[in-house]
Amino acid sequence: MPKAKLIIDGTEIPLEDGITTIGRAPDNKICLAEDSNVSRYHAEIECKDGRFWLTDVGSRNGTTINGISVKTTVELFDGDLIVLGGTSQIKFHIEKSEPETEKPQDTESNFASESSAIEAPKSEIVEQASVEVSKKSSFPLILMGFFVALMMIFVAVLAFFLYGSFAKPACEVKAKIVSPESGDLIDKETEINIEVQNGECLERLIVLLEDEPVAIIERQPFVATLNPADFPEFADGLEHSLKLVVEDSNGKRSSADAISIALETASIKKPEERDISQAGSEDGFSSENNLEGSSSSSNSKPKISLVETQQAIQQILKQFSGNFSYKFDEQFLREVQSKTGEYAEEGYFSKAETYRDLINIEFHKENGLDAPLGFLLAMSRSKFNPQKQGDKEGLWQLSDEFLTANGYKTLCPNESLSNKEQSCAAKTAAVYTKALFLKVFNGDLIYAIAAFGMNEQEAFSWASSLPASRMDFWKVVKKPQQRENLVRFFAAAIVAENPQKFNLKRDRPISELYRSLMINLPASNR
């Protein structure tokens, strides 16, 4: 039976017979406790009849093998790259068993037995030297014994040298994509640089975009060129898999590496669209500064591309501490992109600044919520206008009836939710948001925002019905109101963080009102 092992961060872990469990929980055979993207019980590897099979057991953030998502039980092959939750990488390796050869001692024992068989007749001849007939009959046997022994020694030596000359180690070419990096946006002709190790038996490298060939490389330098214009079907700003396949001198192909990239080509501008010509914000999200000749700043609402929409959302998510990974559906991005125009109105920053201390105290200091949450919720639900609209009122547009029925209004039973100070509105909204964000959804921003408006019991019921793997949230969140919550939250957040992009010259990024409270976030999340 072949022996197999997993290689995790350079550490080799032999696979035993039966089932090997992997996850964050300490009772797994392989425990990845440090990676929050890995589920408590994430995956299993089972050895059956000398073959190895991987099963995702309903993980939250999914499993891939060589960049391909695992939906069912999948057989593992030597060199496969397993990625759990999008972050933990595990290399699968099968140790090839070496053929057994005849041991030299077997020849020696045979030789000894032949010698002993020869010695007996020799002593008998000495003892019976007088018998000439016996002497003559034993001599041919002695010669034959020596001849057989010599032949066996010759064959053993010859086999040893032949095996040493022709036996070759298994071909284990290693290759990886050095640039571009995973997550890069490719909007022009770009070099793909590949690093190769143990390339003695390498025949060729094959570069694929999804399953479409990009280049075949047969000699050094290991460089290919990717032009988004050659792949218009993938130039949509969404993530696609760039794969690297190696083929050895025996014609065997195996997956070597895979990264996720986004492609975009310059779109044809409509006459009324303005040119986005310069980069603006410090986080790399492009802005429009070339607005000469525009009539009115409040009426000019430049559009953002789909790629810019995704980049902006990713920057917003970095302001939160949950460290969850999400996939962005094209329909979701287009709806957010379309909705940004509703929030591109001047004056939001000065309105928000009025409530700066109140929101920071109630949401962040009193209830431990991420600093941006209170501001972005208020922007998305009321644009910082506390006036009553229908039965909902206050900056967070919650009804007095809802808050009273669920016990939140006891914090300020005699205060109005729409008064100028907004003290009661902030207290009740912060405690309610904490219940959703921390208690029900364990810091998962996407699902807490989608559930805004549900009471705790309804939210718990919905949370318990969600699939274990819910990274692709747009396929999980189905109800129109839940989707509307998400679209409005991110559309409002994009405008509030990037006013220059929407020609809101009097406004500033809303994070200026809470940036000092984000010092405890990891550098990658600020």
What one-character-per-residue DSSP string does 129-162 give? TT-HHHHHHHHHHHHHHHHHHHHHHHHHHHHHHH
Neighbouring residues of 500: CB distance < 8 A, sequence distance ≥ 6:
280, 281, 287, 288, 289
| Under 8 Å between Cβ of 433 and 421 | no
Topology of domain 174-264 in CATH is Immunoglobulin-like (2.60.40)
Residue length, the chain? Answer: 526
CA 413 to CA 520: how far, in whole Å? 35
Distance, CA of 314 to CA of 260 (rounded, Å) = 15
Q: What is the mean pLDDT of each successive set of 10 residues along the chain, which is 526 residues long?
A: 87 89 90 88 89 88 89 89 91 74 47 46 45 51 75 76 54 87 86 89 88 86 88 79 87 86 59 35 39 35 76 92 86 92 94 95 93 96 93 94 93 91 95 94 94 94 90 92 96 95 93 81 44
Gyration radius from the chain CA atoms: 35
Q: HSE (CB half, 13 Å, CA atoms) of 70?
A: 30
Q: Where in the chain is the domain with CATH 2.60.200.20?
A: 3-95
Task: State residue 451 phi and psi, 5-degree precision.
Answer: -85, -5
Rounded to 5 degrees, what are φ and ψ at 146?
A: -65, -40
Domain with CATH 1.10.530.10 in the chain: 306-525
| Angle formed by the axes of helices 104-127 and 132-166, nearest 10° | 170
Angle at 185 (CA atoms; ends 489, 282), nearest 5 degrees: 60
Q: Which CATH number fits domain 3-95: 3.40.50.11440, 1.20.58.220, 2.60.200.20, 1.10.10.60?
A: 2.60.200.20
According to DSSP, the β-strands at 88-95 and 3-8 are antiparallel
In the chain, CATH 2.60.40.10 sits at 174-264
Amino acid 76: pLDDT: 92
Tell me the pTM: 0.50
For residue 226, which phi and psi values (nearest 5 degrees)? -115, 120
Are 264 and 235 contacting, i.e. CB atoms less than 8 angstroms apart? yes
Taking phi first (over 0 means left), then psi (-120 to 50 degrees means alpha), and beta for anything else, what does residue 251 get?
Answer: left
CA distances, 123 to each of 62, 116, 117, 129, 239 (Å): 80, 11, 11, 10, 88
CATH architecture of the domain formed by 306-525: Orthogonal Bundle (1.10)
pLDDT value of position 358: 95
Beta strands 43-48 and 51-56, pairing class = antiparallel
What does the pLDDT read at residue 339?
94
Structural element, H or E, at residue 260: strand 253-264
Q: What is the pLDDT of residue 284?
A: 42
What's residue 124's pLDDT? 47
Burial of 352 (0-12, 13-18, 19+ CB in 10 A): buried
